[in-house]
Amino acid sequence: MATLASPAANVAAPPPRTQSATWDVRSQRIVFGTLTAIAIVFLIAPTIIVLLTSFTATESLRFPPQGYSLRWYKALLDADQMQAAAWNSLVVAVWTTLACVVLGTAGALGIARSASRFARIADVMFMSPLILPALAFGFAALVYIHLLGFHPSIPLLIVGHVIVCVPFVLRTTIAALAQVDPALFDASASLGAGRALTFRRVTLPLIGRGVGAGAFLAFMASFDNVPVSLFLADERTEVLPIHLWQQIDTNLDVRTAAISGVIIIVTILLMVLAERFAGLSRQLAR
């Protein structure tokens, strides 16, 4: 017995705390910690700088600003073109999100637990907008609708956005479904519940947070989309990112910082809501 016990005790024993071992652990912590600290500053600093700059009292984008005021936020109230573009973006993003949630949830339920060939091919196809050049798709869509004799319009823009935004809903919903014990569905069925009732009372409550996180991501992706809107939106249907892109490229002014400030604040608020109601950070890290 004693001979059997001793190797086990060796394995379970803590690693020898020699000088070199502690130095090894410490150096790793220092290297990874330092890189993480630099990266976090690198990730956050631009957002903070643009937010502070937007409150400048002067006409320059210099940081730190000489004096603070809300004058550029007030100037936004008169920026008709920008407001129209923001409204278009909001309309497109809301419809895109609704379509993504309906089609994406159904699609996720369809392919998540199916072993069929169709499901695997569909999975690859549904995810490909995430990795193929979105700009090539935007141009392809323009050529396509021209061939069919259509002109750029809001509904077509929404369809284009659905293609590039639906992978987000699919991904989070499939991840949520993977955590659900399939026996629950069988139990519901064997207790006499029909498919619709099972979906409403069992499936939806279990995957709701995944769908919610996906919907949030799809909304943000649509509101922020440039590559597709670049080709499918014209002057009439101009959306906010395109408007801002053109403004920054031609005549940069501080109003751009103010609208950026609005976008940042709204984004943070939406993120806090998404974190509370959909557990965003846990949904994303799956």
Partner 1 sequence: MASATRDEWPLALPLAALFIVCFVAPFCVLLALSLHADAQARAFSVAQYAKFFGDTFNLSILWSTLWLAIKATLVCLLFGYPIAWVCSRAPARWQSVLVFVVVLPILTSVVVRTFAWIVILGREGVLNHALRALHVIDQPVPLLFTETGVIAVLAQVQMPLMVLPLFATLSRIDRNLGDASAALGAGAWRTFFRITLPLSTPGLVAGCILVFSACATAFVTQTLIGGARLVYMPLHIYQQAIGANNWPFAAAISVVFTIAVMIVIYALNRVGRTGKAYGDAR
- Would you list the DSSP string of 132-183? S-HHHHHHHHHHHHHHTT----HHHHHHHHHHHHHHHHHHHHHHHHHTS-TH
- The smaller minimum CB distance to partner 1, of residues 3 and 10, is found at 10
Residue 14 near partner 1 by CB under 8 A: yes
d(CA 97, CA 120): 24
Q: Among 68-76, 78-86, 90-98, 268-276, which window interacts with partner 1 (CB under 8 A)?
A: 268-276
Range 196-235, binding partner 1 (CB under 8 A): 198, 217, 220, 223-224, 226-227, 230-231
Task: Name the token pair of 133.
Answer: 């050049």
Q: Which of 132, 178, 204, 269 binds partner 1 (CB under 8 A)?
A: 132
d(CA 228, CA 222): 10
Phi-psi region of 15 (alpha: psi -120 to 50; beta: other; left: phi over 0): beta
Residue 155 near partner 1 by CB under 8 A: no
Tell me the number of residues near partner 1 by CB under 8 A. Answer: 109
Q: Which residue has the tokens 């629950």?
A: 184
d(CA 239, CA 282): 31
- The smaller minimum CB distance to partner 1, of residues 1 and 183, is found at 183
Phi-psi region of 192 (alpha: psi -120 to 50; beta: other; left: phi over 0): left
x-marked contacts with partner 1 along 167-186 as a string, rule CB under 8 A:
---------------x--xx
- The smaller minimum CB distance to partner 1, of residues 38 and 70, is found at 38
Q: Among 71-79, 90-98, 117-125, 204-212, which window interacts with partner 1 (CB under 8 A)?
A: 117-125
Residue 35 near partner 1 by CB under 8 A: yes
Residue 84 near partner 1 by CB under 8 A: no
Residue 264 near partner 1 by CB under 8 A: yes
Residue 162 near partner 1 by CB under 8 A: yes
Task: Name the token pair of 182.
Answer: 């399939």
Q: Which of 144, 164, 132, 151 has the alpha carbon at shortest distance from 228? A: 164
Element (H, E) at 30: helix 19-53
Residue 57 near partner 1 by CB under 8 A: no
The least CB distance from residue 58 to partner 1, in Å, is: 12
Q: Among 70-78, 80-88, 90-98, 138-146, which window interacts with partner 1 (CB under 8 A)?
A: 138-146
Amino acid at 97: T
Q: Among 39-47, 70-78, 80-88, 204-212, which window interacts with partner 1 (CB under 8 A)?
A: 39-47
How many of the other CB atoms lie within 10 Å of CB of 146?
Answer: 11
Q: Which of 76, 110, 153, 208 binds partner 1 (CB under 8 A)?
A: 110
Residue 249 near partner 1 by CB under 8 A: yes
